[in-house]
Amino acid sequence: MSRPRKRILGLVALLTAAYLLFSKEFTSGGIGLVTRNSNISHSESPASDHTDSGDVSYPKYTAGETTAQRLDLLKKLQDLEQQELHYQQSEDSRHKFRLQNTFAEQQSSEFAALENATFVTLARNSDLLGLMNTIRSVEDRFNNRYHYDWVFLNNEPFTEEFVKVSSSLVSGQARYGVIGLDHWSYPDWINRTAAAEVRNKMRNAGIIYGDSESYRHMCRYESGFFYHHPLMREYKYYWRVEPDTLLHCDIDYDVFKYMREEKKKYGFTIALREYISTIESLWDVTRQYLSHVPDALNSNSLLEFISDDYGVTYNLCHFWTNFEIADMDFWRAPPYQDYFDFLDKAGGFFYERWGDAPVHSIAASLFLDKKEIHFFDDIGYTHPPFTHCPMNPIERGLTCSCLPTQNFDWQSYSCTRQFYKAQNMPLPDNIPNA
């Protein structure tokens, strides 16, 4: 019971007792028969010393009251009873209001029809600390309004701590899967000795992740297997999230619904160039694949994004796949699955250091209609060391915690300008053509 209501009920009880007590001091036919000389003093009256921490002033009466004062006491009692009734009605009304608003919120969020989609994160147990702020960022900026599931995948079982902490941060259902050895090991056709020699050479050359065996397994898994994991088979769309990344802008619409309604198959925020030393033969192998299945090339492809000479060479542009929102039906079906199998048999994931970013980007650019590829320009995002921050966020009604001056989009190493050109999109104001 609330404090104001307790105070009112206390006054009602107190004044009722006082009224009954005073009534006994009157004869059945007389008025005011108790004189001022009564042995009952002012300090002995039932209400004289009563105080309350709520700063309510109680009326003080002696036993020798006049009829007018007695009637005044009765009126005060009636007024307090009306206040209690009014308060009860108001409280009922507020409760009804809360119920109505709770129902409306549920109707607009939890009970609303969600898309068949999930977040997905490939992580090690040691990534937990870097993942906590990332999950909180995604939840605060987007998922607290929709409560989409979140799938966590690892090549070894997650620890109890990882599950307990990460699940407490996710507003949807958190799900945990282990990657099978058949998807996180060397295929039979790979010469492990030759692969080890490549790693040593790349280490000596100072190539980033050049000597990492686990990084190669990760790139191969993200390129061709994650969408086949039993947990992921239940979904159509996914949003990939990696540790130590942040969202900078509130997202007030359902991005998965947007993908479906606008018939988009692939979405990104950052585009840049790959290290040539990691993918030296990737484009040659891609051209070999296209020579076998020329019909795989979409007649309205985004080829100009990845090649400056109509497909003769690869310009190294790719979408940074640590952020990608995509339709897994594209990866699961030909031509992509056939393309991945062709690349896998060529061995470049181990004999070089092919990344999932150029593999996904080349495939999307060649096999999709370019209208099916979307630049999420309104989603501010950071994966160190690069940040995408929307231009003119305030004027566009965006709530962001980044500055446009942080934006990587128009720097020389970025491929955003190349994407605009390939899509025949006008560049934003104040952005030069070259």
The pLDDT value given to residue 58: 38
Residues 28 and 45 in one domain: yes
Residues 85 and 176 in one domain: no
Q: Which of 77, 108, 139 is the last residue of a domain?
A: 108
- The domain tally of the chain equals 2
Q: How confident is the model at residue 67 (pLDDT cuts 50, 70, 90)?
A: low
Give yes or no for residue 37 having a pLDDT over 50. Answer: no
State the first-to-last Cα distance of the chain, in angstroms, to the nearest integer.
69
Report the CATH number at residue 274.
Answer: 3.90.550.10
- Give Dmax over CA atoms of the chain in angstroms: 121
Q: Which of 84, 108, 132 is the last residue of a domain?
A: 108
Q: How confident is the model at residue 220 (pLDDT cuts 50, 70, 90)?
A: very high
Judge whether 164 lies within some domain.
Answer: yes
**DSSP H helix total and E strand total for the chain:** 14, 12
Beta-carbon contacts of 158 under 8 Å, excluding residues fewer than 6 positions away, are 125, 152, 176
Number of other residues whose CB lies within 10 A of the CB of residue 236 = 16
pTM above 0.85, yes or no: no
The Cα angle at residue 327 between residues 176 and 371, in degrees rounded to 5:
155
Judge whether 428 lies within some domain.
Answer: no
Average pLDDT over residues 368-380: 98
The Cα angle at residue 319 between residues 167 and 162, in degrees rounded to 5:
15
pLDDT digits (tens, 9 = 90+) for 94-105: 344 334 444 444
Q: What's the number of CA atoms in the CB half-sphere (13 Å) around residue 131? A: 23
Judge whether 430 lies within some domain.
Answer: no
Residue pointed to by tokens 């309510």: 56
Alpha carbon 48 to its chain's center: 60
Strands 324-327 and 237-240: antiparallel
Backbone φ and ψ for 318, nearest 5 degrees, come out as: -155, 160
Q: Which of 324, 352, 372, 395 is catalytic?
A: 324
Q: Which residue has the higher pLDDT, 44 or 311?
A: 311
Annotation marks residue 324 as catalytic: yes
Q: Which of 91, 108, 125 is the last residue of a domain?
A: 108
Residues 178 and 43 in one domain: no
Mean pLDDT of the chain: 84
Residues 15 and 122 in one domain: no
* Containing structural domain, residue 80: 3-108
pLDDT digits (tens, 9 = 90+) for 117-139: 999 999 999 999 999 999 999 99
Query: Helix, strand, or coil here: 93?
Result: helix
